[in-house]
């Protein structure tokens, strides 16, 4: 594990138990976090029986939405680097009695898709992954034609003055946002690796949902 990855693990170990509560507090500033998650999952266009992977699944806060989409006959694979976050996810899975959820402790850059995957989701997580370009490239190469990678992420709006950018970084730091990773542009990487990319801006352009639709694979 690299020093950067270890720092992430330490950070999220501290936040794991309070992560879901922190997410709910953003409604106080008009950030409709749960609504954005629902929109992101809807954008995957999943069907009952599908297999979906969530990279950086954290506490499993999206699992109920994914369960509704793929049904009990489908499969959810949650991948995360932090043991404490996966512990919270495991408690959520046990509490709901979901038997179709697999939890994998792995760095997303080293996770290889072994099954036919119908969709890949990341929410407030890929920005914390420095090598996100390789993750997006592997997703584009692994998804069947027409299937989707959907990212729900935060970022710094270009129009914002410095004081507002600093405030936004501070406000969303519980999601792992730093000045460095807030400048990442995963949607630009998606444009490199997917033949079709859509992006919808949210919350004064501070958040966005980006969708990469896989094309025909070359022989």
Q: State residue 1's pLDDT score.
A: 56
- The most confident of the ranges 94-103, 157-166, 179-188 is 94-103
Q: State residue 5's pLDDT score.
A: 52
Q: At 219, is the pLDDT very low, low, confident or very high (cuts 50, 70, 90)?
A: very low
Q: State residue 9's pLDDT score.
A: 52
193 phi and psi angles, rounded to 5 deg: -105, -15
Report whether 83 contacts 101 (CB < 8 A): no
**Pairwise CA distance, residues 20 & 144, whole Å:** 32
Assigned CATH for 3-213: 3.40.50.150
Q: At 59, is the pLDDT very low, low, confident or very high (cuts 50, 70, 90)?
A: very high
Mean pLDDT of 76-95: 94
Mean pLDDT of 59-69: 97
Report whether 141 contacts 134 (CB < 8 A): no
Positive/negative CA dihedral, 144, 70, 33, 181: negative
Q: State residue 131's pLDDT score.
A: 87
More confident position, 161 or 118? 118
The residues near 79 (Cβ < 8 Å, ≥ 6 apart) are: 53, 54, 55, 56, 57, 104, 105, 106, 108, 111
195 phi and psi angles, rounded to 5 deg: -70, -20
Q: State residue 96's pLDDT score.
A: 97
Mean pLDDT of 146-164: 80
Instruction: Check whether 28 has a pLDDT greater than 90.
Output: no
**For the segment 129-141, what is each residue's pLDDT rounded down to a tens digit?**
878 999 999 999 9
**Pairwise CA distance, residues 134 & 138, whole Å:** 6
Instruction: Check whether 186 has a pLDDT greater than 90.
Output: no
Which helix (H) or strand (E) segment holds residue 187: the answer is helix 186-193
Report whether 134 contacts 190 (CB < 8 A): no
Domain locations along the chain: 3-213
Residue 100 DSSP one-character state: S
For residue 66, count other CB atoms closer than 10 A to its CB: 27
| pTM, entire model | 0.85
Q: Is 53 helix (H, G, I), strand (E, B) or coil?
A: strand
Mean pLDDT of 8-25: 58
Question: Is 5 exposed, middle or buried, given 0-12, 13-18 or 19+ CB atoms closer than 10 A?
Answer: middle
Q: State residue 12's pLDDT score.
A: 52
**Pairwise CA distance, residues 156 & 182, whole Å:** 6
Instruction: Check whether 217 has a pLDDT greater than 90.
Output: no
Q: State residue 130's pLDDT score.
A: 77
**Pairwise CA distance, residues 194 & 189, whole Å:** 9
For residue 162, count other CB atoms closer than 10 A to its CB: 8
161 phi and psi angles, rounded to 5 deg: -70, 165
Token code pair at residue 132: 């996100």
């Amino acid at each position: 594990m690299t020093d950067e990855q270890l720092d992430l693990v330490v950070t999220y170990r501290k936040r794991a138990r309070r992560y879901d509560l922190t997410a709910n507090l953003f409604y106080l500033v008009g950030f409709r976090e749960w609504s954005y998650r629902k929109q992101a999952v809807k954008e995957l266009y999943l069907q009952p029986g599908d297999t979906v992977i969530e990279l950086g699944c954290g506490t499993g806060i999206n699992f109920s939405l994914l369960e509704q989409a793929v049904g009990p006959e489908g499969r959810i694979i949650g991948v995360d680097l932090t043991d404490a976050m996966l512990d919270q996810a495991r408690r959520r899975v046990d509490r709901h009695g979901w038997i179709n959820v697999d939890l994998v402790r792995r760095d997303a850059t080293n996770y290889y898709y072994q099954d036919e995957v119908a969709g890949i989701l990341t929410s407030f997580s890929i920005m914390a992954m420095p090598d996100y370009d390789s993750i997006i490239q592997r997703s584009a190469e692994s998804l069947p034609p027409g299937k989707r990678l959907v990212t729900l992420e935060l970022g710094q709006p270009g129009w914002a003055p410095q004081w507002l950018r600093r405030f936004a970084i501070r406000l969303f730091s519980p999601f792992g946002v730093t000045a460095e990773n807030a400048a990442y542009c995963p949607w630009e990487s998606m444009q490199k690796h997917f033949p079709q990319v859509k992006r919808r801006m949210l919350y004064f352009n501070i958040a966005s949902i980006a969708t990469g639709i896989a094309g025909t694979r070359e022989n």
